[in-house]
Amino acid sequence: MSLSCFEFVDKKSQLTLEEAQQLLLDEARLWHQQQDRVHRLPLQQALGAHLAASLSAPQAVPPHTNSAMDGYALVGASLVSQTQWQLVGTQLAGQMTSHRLQPGEAMAITTGAALPPGADTVVMQEQCHVEGDQLTIQRAAEMRIGANVRQAGEDLQQGQQVLAAGARLGPVQLGLLASLGCADVPVRPALKVAVFSTGDEVVAAGQPLAPGQIYDTNRTSLISLLQALGCQVSDLGILPDDQQVIHQALAQAALTHQLVITSGGVSVGQADWIKPVLNQLGETRFWQLAIRPGRPFAFGHLGQNASGETCFFAGLPGNPVAVMVTFMLLVQPLILALQGAEAGAATPVHAQAEEEIKSRLGRSDFYRARLSTSPTGQLSVRVVGEQGSGRLSSMHEANCLVRLDEQEALKARGDSVRVYPFAGFLAGYLA
């Protein structure tokens, strides 16, 4: 809890967002050089994981040339010379006839069935007429040779790189690997992350509130954000504003995790113990950023865990919106990098300001806002709701953050502004 009434700020010691992001990515790169963590997961357990190695197609997809329609397979050149074809059998999906079709012959075929030898064209059933074993085709001469046929390897060729190392495995990527017959994949193991809330005033949901107390918002937000990134999360509860207890709890958590995250107690108040404890247990790599919300943000190391790996620490501010914003801008890129992702921090898009926007202070200001698309495809954005960093309800109204830097103190209506859509952060698979 911050009890100090004065705000003394040494602006020179505050990193910009980009400086902080770069430092986090450098730390993650170093960490990866020190250990080569790979394990194999069955495809259906690999959602959200990152590939540890690039993967090439062991075989072509589709493996055989096949029909895209239910209909009749024939020799395409015969469409101009014939008016009738003799039906010589049926090829269902999963079957493989050895009969080689001659120009005057046709074979009934279903969607997905391999083309019989000699055939190169399929005519849709709806354009055909069958009597006995004789097939006639409406406007046969207008048909395209090669119509309704999917060539072997037209989706993926054998040996072609399908996914690069670091790719995030979402539903699309997992489907692609399944189409190649992969039963399991080499991935980076899920990051083990411990989450604490801190503060004497903070109470877990389900308990009665005494005067002066509030419910714990941040643990729930953080745990769900971490789960969406595929982390293995330990919910370690709420710590009181007590240096000894915090010291003990962080030291213990550092033994079995790769990242420990706290919220609250990271500012300059009399009861803010996070920074001193971080310095006792390990080291602070940076503290205080030139962003709002989220200036008090501590990043560092808590020494080594029981596996000999560096255990990272992120001390987020207590205000619930500052938690969300610093997670999106800083913790998420760190986690993605530690989990071996190829993508870095989210990049902004540009949109027209629907109204004037003023920056409030000499740092990067992130406003909760709503991004819309006009019928002509023009992106526009307006700030929504109250911007106090304790006011989570305006986060719910918003679908993006608008960023105004120190040198962009005022944006007029119609000016272009930088926007970070939540979809880019929260969907994760887009990263």
Ligand X SMILES: Nc1nc2c(c(=O)[nH]1)N[C@H]1C(S)=C(S)[C@@H](COP(=O)(O)OP(=O)(O)OC[C@H]3O[C@@H](n4cnc5c(N)ncnc54)[C@H](O)[C@@H]3O)O[C@H]1N2
User: Which window, 130-138, 221-229, 293-301, 342-350, contacts ligand MOO (CB under 6 A)?
Assistant: 293-301
Alpha carbon distance 195, 219 (integer Å): 7
> Contact at 8 Å (CB) between 85 and 57?
no
Choose from ligand MOO, ligand X, none: what does 320 bind? Cβ within 5-8 Å by kind.
ligand X
Dig out the tokens for 139 from the structure: 């406007």
User: Which window, 40-48, 291-299, 332-340, 422-430, contacts ligand X (CB under 6 A)?
Assistant: 291-299
Q: Please, which residue, 123 or 322, has the CB nearer to ligand MOO?
A: 322
Q: Tell the smallest beta-carbon distance from residue 219 to ligand X (Å).
A: 6
Q: Where would I find the H helices in 5-140?
A: 17-34, 78-81
Alpha carbon distance 386, 129 (integer Å): 69
217 binds ligand MOO (CB under 6 A): no
Beta-bridge partner residues of 261: 195, 314
Strand 161-163 relative to strand 298-304: parallel, antiparallel, unpaired?
unpaired
Alpha carbon distance 359, 411 (integer Å): 8
Choose from ligand MOO, ligand X, none: what does 1 bind? Cβ within 5-8 Å by kind.
ligand X
In whole angstroms, how far apart are CA 281 and each of 27, 127, 198, 312?
18, 77, 17, 11
Residues 319, 326, 339, 364: which binds ligand X (CB under 6 A)?
319
Q: Please, which residue, 210 or 412, has the CB nearer to ligand X?
A: 210
User: Which window, 125-133, 145-153, 286-294, 375-383, contacts ligand MOO (CB under 6 A)?
Assistant: 286-294
Q: Please, which residue, 265 or 293, has the CB nearer to ligand MOO?
A: 293
User: Which window, 40-48, 212-220, 279-287, 316-324, contacts ligand MOO (CB under 6 A)?
Assistant: 316-324
CA dihedral of residues 37, 40, 44, 45 (deg, nearest 10): -40
Q: Please, which residue, 262 or 389, has the CB nearer to ligand MOO?
A: 389
In whole angstroms, how far apart are CA 106 and each of 288, 412, 416?
75, 70, 62
Choose from ligand X, ligand MOO, none: what does 424 bind? Cβ within 5-8 Å by kind.
none
Build a one-symbol-per-residue string for 120-159: x at contacts with ligand MOO by CB under 6 A, - elsewhere.
----------------------------------------
Beta-bridge partner residues of 129: 136
Residue with tokens 């004037």: 356
Q: How many residues does the chain have?
A: 431
Alpha carbon distance 85, 134 (integer Å): 6
The one-letter amino acid code at 301 reads H
Build a one-symbol-per-residue string for 170-209: x at contacts with ligand X by CB under 6 A, - elsewhere.
---------------------------x-x-xx-------
Q: Tell the smallest beta-carbon distance from residue 289 to ligand X (Å).
A: 10
Choose from ligand MOO, ligand X, none: what does 27 bind? Cβ within 5-8 Å by kind.
none
317 binds ligand MOO (CB under 6 A): yes
Dig out the tokens for 210 from the structure: 């005494």
User: Which window, 77-85, 134-142, 166-174, 291-299, contacts ligand MOO (CB under 6 A)?
Assistant: 291-299
Answer positive or negative: Cα dihedral of 280, 281, 286, 288: negative
> Where does this chain bind ligand X (CB under 6 A)?
1-2, 4, 6-7, 197, 199, 201-202, 214, 216-219, 263-269, 272, 293, 295-296, 317-320, 322, 389-390
